[in-house]
Structure 1
Amino acid sequence: MSELVAALPMYDWPEVRGEVDAQWAGLRDVFRQRGIDAPSTIVRRNGELPAVPGGIRDAEGKLIAPDPATLPPDKLDFHKLWLHPALLFAQTCWGPMELGLSRHVQVVGQPSYDAYEGGQGELYSSALVMRTGEGPEVRSPADGRALLPLDLIRGKRFTFNSLDSMSGIIAPTRDLEAAGESLDIFSSRNESGGHRGSIVTVAEGRADIAAIDCESWALAQRFEPAARKVVIVGWTARRKGLPFITARTTPEKTIKAIREALVGLAEQPRIQRVG
């Protein structure tokens, strides 16, 4: 039994857990064919993470996270998952990577977003959504540039999934700054806890606008009734989507095998080789 850890938490909605499990099964089998001791299943709870007595430490021995055994067992702390020394394969976001995670992990690949409006190869964008009737619906720009309806969103209440989210707040912030504006264009800002929560918050009138990454928006159209009450009024610029990562301690031989496996799966819609 493998002692390594794998997780695909970023789009793991309850309604698609079977699809996510199947995605991992495909990756697992290809990894094993290349000699990688990939775990049979992905983790979804802190309680499924191997204990790290004394806590998780960085390359210099500094404590950077507690022992997962001390965390609430039925929740999943993404940041502790990403820092786990037994991490073989997981998704993260470029927001946390830019905020320090990149020092502790290695990037092994990028997913493809070709299947989604607003995506192109390893690039994705976020849909700016408001309640239906409050703005004209727009399509994703073919050139991948930001499409910001500044007059429409000025003075509105903005909700976002988390402060370290590239798609939910960092990308909109950068696009607004490029247009000579800032988050101050909004009358208020509040954290919803997730893209799905942001859609519900807007639909229920507790906020006016949110930025939802294009794959989460596709999931919402399939499974979230509140998505029928909102409309896309703008788009952020395309940027690199969620990277696949492994622990900083993963041997180079294993990283090479992972990358080769991803190259072999490149024709599938969700996997691309790291650039």
Structure 2
Amino acid sequence: MFASLPMYDRPENRAAHDALWDGVRGALGFGPEALDRETDHVEGWGRDDLLLGQICNLPYRAQFRDNVTRIACSDYGLTDTPAGYYHSVFVVRAEDAPRGLAPATLGRFAYNDALSHSGWGGPLARVTEQGLQFHTTLHTGAHIDSMKAVVDGRADLAAIDAVTWRMLQSWEPRSAELRVIGRTGLSPGMTFITAKTIDPAPIKAALNTAIAELSPEHAQTLGVRGIVELADSAYDLPIPKAP
């Protein structure tokens, strides 16, 4: 069997993620000894032996909705955000913050991936609602690379998953050179999934137990407070056009 939690995994929280998986495995009574950090995350979502994974809502909606089983959404305790949901923040260089979002969209928008709701789908929906558009885009491959692109002047605007932004503020000193100038709408947060043929109920119970039993240090590092099972209709969002 296969387990992976790649979406927020960093060197600084690796031990905490390992502790979370140890708790899940202990509560289940079975599972791989360690999280897989070698398999590409998209490949992992499609594996028939996926015991536990975590997926962004856009690739779930666009490609995996009929091929995996949803367990629950993660709750990271984001400010002014209902449990189980998340949003992204728009960031620009500090000197550009007073100009606001509309002028920033005239520059180059850095996005991590066209199948990222936090980096592309959510921000596209927000600027479209305001009658704006991204005039030029830069594909970076990761939120941290979008942040660096804005800091370095290769881009003028990026949208960063609010959970990732919280981590970047803690562990990436150059994030201090950026300012938040807005946020996207709400959507289902990172969603725990398992393979289509696996019963999600025992895994959901094990996740609840493991999160509750994390040490205070690991709980603070991850920031995860619990899991929330959202209605299927929460994922009925349009698929955005690619950049």
2:113 aligned residue: 162
In 1, Cα distance between equivalents of 2:228 and 2:26:
18
Name the SS of the counterpart of 1:180 in structure 2: coil
Name the SS of the counterpart of 1:91 in structure 2: strand
1:24 aligned residue: 21
8 Å CA contact 1:221, 1:227 repeated in 2: yes
Deviations 1:107-153 (A, max 9, x none): 01111021x3464311111010000121149xxxxxxxxxxx44332
1:83 aligned residue: 46
Where relative contact order (Cα < 8 A, 6+ residues apart) is larger, the structure is 2
Report how far residue 266 of structure 1 moved.
6.9
Report how far residue 174 of structure 1 moved.
1.4
Match for residue 258 of structure 1 among 197, 203, 210:
203
In 2, Cα distance between equivalents of 1:227 and 1:241:
23
Report how far residue 79 of structure 1 moved.
1.1
2:5 aligned residue: 8
8 Å CA contact 2:84, 2:228 repeated in 1: no
In 2, Cα distance between equivalents of 1:264 and 1:24:
11
Mapping of 1:134-149 within 5 angstroms? 134-136=96-98, 149=100
2:86 aligned residue: 124
Mapping of 1:1-275 within 5 angstroms? 4-32=1-29, 37-46=30-39, 77-114=40-77, 116-117=78-79, 119-136=81-98, 149-181=100-132, 185-250=133-198, 252=199, 255-264=200-209, 269-275=224-230
In 2, Cα distance between equivalents of 1:235 and 1:209:
12
Deviations 1:187-211 (A, max 9, x none): 3101111001110110000000100
TM-score normalised by the chain length of structure 1? 0.74
In terms of fraction of residues, the more helix-rich structure is: 2
In 2, Cα distance between equivalents of 1:13 and 1:260:
25
Stretches of 4+ moved more than 4 A in 1?
263-268
Q: Which is greater in Rg?
A: 1
CA distance 1:26–1:44, shift in 2 (3 Å): same
In 2, Cα distance between equivalents of 1:126 and 1:241:
11
In 2, Cα distance between equivalents of 1:265 and 1:19:
11
Report how far residue 106 of structure 1 moved.
0.6
Name the SS of the counterpart of 2:96 in structure 1: coil
| One-letter amino acid of the structure 2 residue matched with residue 228 of structure 1 | A
Deviations 1:239-265 (A, max 9, x none): 110100001122x3xx22122334446
In 1, Cα distance between equivalents of 2:84 and 2:24:
18
Q: How many residues align?
A: 220
Name the SS of the counterpart of 1:110 in structure 2: strand
In 2, Cα distance between equivalents of 1:162 and 1:274:
26
Structure 2 unaligned regions, length at least 5: 213-218, 231-243
